[in-house]
A and B are shown apart, each in its own frame.
Chain A
Amino acid sequence: DTEVTQTPKHLVMGMTNKKSLKCEQHMGHRAMYWYKQKAKKPPELMFVYSYEKLSINESVPSRFSPECPNSSLLNLHLHALQPEDSALYLCASSQVQGGSYEQYFGPGTRLTVT
């Protein structure tokens, strides 16, 4: 099974709301990723977790707060977002971080900030 699941599929939130995106994988992967994808663009890396520890933060604004409660779960907490944060948020996992391993992606959460 190479499935990564994400919830919710769609999310509309106001600029003062707090919401969370969730991601789950059961492949035993020890690296998990958050990407942001704008229309007609490739995914942009936001965060990497390796063995449940934050390994990379690509200078993402603090209104995005990642969390990795265990090796299968990854959350992205959202607070005080801006309209320009509207995008498709993708979660991915790989066997480990680095090396030449493929990443498996979830279906994404389509976020609209109003």
Chain B
Amino acid sequence: GNSVTQMEGPVTLSEEAFLTINCTYTATGYPSLFWYVQYPGEGLQLLLKATKADDKGSNKGFEATYRKETTSFHLEKGSVQVSDSAVYFCALAYNDMRFGAGTRLTVKP
């Protein structure tokens, strides 16, 4: 079946550090891939998406590229801010939505 595997957290970084959160997927077809972000006490917000191989999704300085050959969709940001502290979920959609376990990011001043 379809599934998503995310890197274990928590991740703690200093402000302006480079961020990578790894995500790999297993799917029988050609899913769309997403990153959602959840700030404390809130719902999930769609951060970015990619619908086909080699697509790059980007938003608010975050980027992720749909890599079919490595079945990956890693989230990156060049310079994190304290306000980026949140839980990040990788997800895929192919007939249904599957979420990764989530990665908690804490950014310290």
Contacts and interface: CB of A to CB of B under 8 A. Distances in A.
A90 B43 contact: yes
16 contacts: A4-B43, A6-B43, A40-B104, A41-B101, A42-B89, A88-B43, A90-B44, A99-B95, A101-B32, A102-B32, A102-B34, A102-B49, A102-B93, A103-B46, A106-B43, A108-B42
Interface of A is mostly: loop
Interface of B: 30-32, 34, 36, 41-46, 49, 51, 89, 93-97, 99-102, 104
A102 B46 contact: yes
Contacts of B104: 40
A40 B93 CA distance: 22
A64 to B, nearest CB: 19
Q: How many A residues are at the interface, by size bracket?
A: 20 to 34
B96 A43 contact: no
A105 B42 CA distance: 10
A42 B49 contact: no
Contact of A41 (B42, B51, B95, B102): B102
A43 B93 contact: no
